[in-house]
């Protein structure tokens, strides 16, 4: 029973985490809950830094999408 509770909790929490769903040298898309702005920014900064760039947010989640969009700028 405890194992089942742990597994269910882990699955629920993993669904709430921010994750990069698309990345290129110029754009990063992060899927995350509305309130995960700083976590999304950190992930985008990390992706953009691979190309010696910085992340600038250009779109926030909407009622129809849970994605933050970032441009990688110099």
Q: Which two tokens stand for residue 53?
A: 């760039």
**pLDDT tens by residue, 26-57:** 999 999 998 899 999 999 999 999 999 999 99
- 34 in helix, strand or coil? coil
Euclidean distance between CA atoms 15 and 26, whole angstroms: 27
If pLDDT is split at 50, 70 and 90, which confidence band does 21 have? very high
User: Against a cut of 0.95, is the pTM above it?
Assistant: no
């Amino acid at each position: 029973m405890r194992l089942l509770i742990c597994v269910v909790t882990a699955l629920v929490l993993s669904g709430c985490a921010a994750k990069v769903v698309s990345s290129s040298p110029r754009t990063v898309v992060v899927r995350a809950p509305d309130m995960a702005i700083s976590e999304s920014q950190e992930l985008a900064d990390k992706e953009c830094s691979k190309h010696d760039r910085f992340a600038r947010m250009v779109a926030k989640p909407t009622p129809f999408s849970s994605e933050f969009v970032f441009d990688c700028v110099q």
